[in-house]
Amino acid sequence: MHIIDSHFHWWPKAFFEHLCNRKTYPRAERDGKGGYRYFRREGEEPRFSPGRDWLDLDFQFAHMDSLGHEIDVVCSIGPLSVHFSDEPVELGREDAMVWNEQMSWAQKKHPGRLWASAAIPLQDTQVALEVLDHAVNKLGLMGVNLPGSVGSDPYIDADRLEPFYDKVEELGLPLFLHPTDAIFPDHLEGYDGALHLSLGRVIEVSVAASRLILSGMMERHPNLKLVMSHTGGALPYQSGRMDKNTKKAKLPRPTSEYIKRMYTDTVSPHTEGMKFAIEYYGVDHIMYGTDYPCWVPADALKFFAGVGLSQADQEKIFYHNARRILNLKDPVPVAVAAE
């Protein structure tokens, strides 16, 4: 089976080496084992500790090859996407440029096997537009990462960001909405992270998407391609509650209609969750994803097989939907310098 994994994370070592040279926070340190520790704030425990399974693309591809399928990948940033909007704007621009150049390098090195999306600093709307233009029109990246918050500011529906959403819609780019770990960890602390990892990220992505709906952003941008991570968070399961309680937002349509206009992945660690997301959004709005290396791709395949779809619907979710929704085109092979 030919598969496109629409929810795949590769974090370039070159980016973390860049952060290791930084004296201010956020910054990174080498861990002495070939990986890194990422610190968001001084005095805090490391927020992320990526090792080989995050940083070594050849290692990651070898793992995918071991699954018995032909698997291509779409790289999005995941929770680290908050970094670029979590620091002074010029540093955010600089770091986004470094990240995007690494993504472009990987996309050119692996044409047709890997597609990559852009980091965008959102603290300043004009800078966001400039970085967006460079990432898409100069570097050839295929989409945009949208953190669930601008640093610790949860208002990704701020009026000042309207020109950013205008341009993303105009360019027909997918927006990969992913939680950032910047909003809810303090409220869901304890249990060695179990509560936040189980519910915090689901809550954040749900709230962020709801803001884009209730603010009228989705109404004003009918062609915006919003790709929600993790089977849409809680929204599919609370869709009726949203319709019942969001009338004060004075939208011309029920909230559920905007939710169903979005796209999502199959990243749910049980068959029932995948099945309900497919039933709710419709088979044409779902793309296969594993959240690798956060989750185990072999398990994702096993859970997906349990949904019991027809061969034609499996092929849509495994491959054809991602090609269509994300407008994936095989890059022209070019000579690529060493990383």
- Tell me if 157 is assigned to some domain: yes
If one counts the domains in the chain, the total is 1
pLDDT of amino acid 334: 59
The verdict on whether omega for the bond into residue 50 sits within 30 degrees of 0, i.e. cis, is: no
Return the number of other C-beta atoms located less than 10 Å from residue 146's C-beta.
29
10-residue mean pLDDT series, the chain (339 residues) = 97 98 96 97 94 98 97 96 95 98 97 97 97 98 96 93 98 95 79 85 92 97 97 94 93 96 96 96 98 96 98 98 93 61
pLDDT of amino acid 338: 61
CATH code where residue 225 lies: 3.20.20.140
pLDDT of amino acid 1: 92
Amino acid making up residue 123: Q
Q: Per-residue pLDDT tens for 139-166?
A: 999 999 999 999 889 999 999 999 999 9
- Tell me if 334 is assigned to some domain: no
Nearest to 322 by CA among 65, 3, 33: 3
pLDDT of amino acid 335: 62
Residue 187 class from Cβ within 10 Å (0-12 exposed, 13-18 middle, 19+ buried)? Answer: exposed
- Tell me if 333 is assigned to some domain: no
Domain containing 117: what range?
2-325
DSSP 19-76: HHT-SSSSEEEE-SSS-EEEESSTTSPPSB---HHHH-HHHHHHHHHTTTSEEEEEE-
CA-to-CA distance for 3 and 17, rounded, in angstroms? 32
Amino acid making up residue 124: D
- Tell me if 339 is assigned to some domain: no
Nearest to 74 by CA among 141, 12, 129, 137: 141
- Tell me if 262 is assigned to some domain: yes
pLDDT of amino acid 333: 59
- Tell me if 337 is assigned to some domain: no
Contacts of 205 (CB under 8 A, 6+ apart): 148, 177, 178, 179, 228, 229, 230, 232, 233
Nearest to 177 by CA among 54, 267, 81, 48: 81
DSSP 206-267: HHHHHHHHHTTHHHH-TT-EEEESGGGTTGGGGHHHHHHH-GGG--SS-HHHHHTTSEEE--
- Tell me if 230 is assigned to some domain: yes
C-beta separation of 153 from 145 below 8 A: no
What is the value of pTM for the model shown? 0.94
- Tell me if 141 is assigned to some domain: yes
Return the number of other C-beta atoms located less than 10 Å from residue 240's C-beta.
11
CA-to-CA distance for 304 and 271, rounded, in angstroms? 6
> Where do we find the tokens 């749910």?
268
Question: CA-CA distances (angstroms) from residue 299 to 69, 242, 290?
Answer: 14, 32, 9
Residue 299 phi, psi (nearest 5): -65, -40
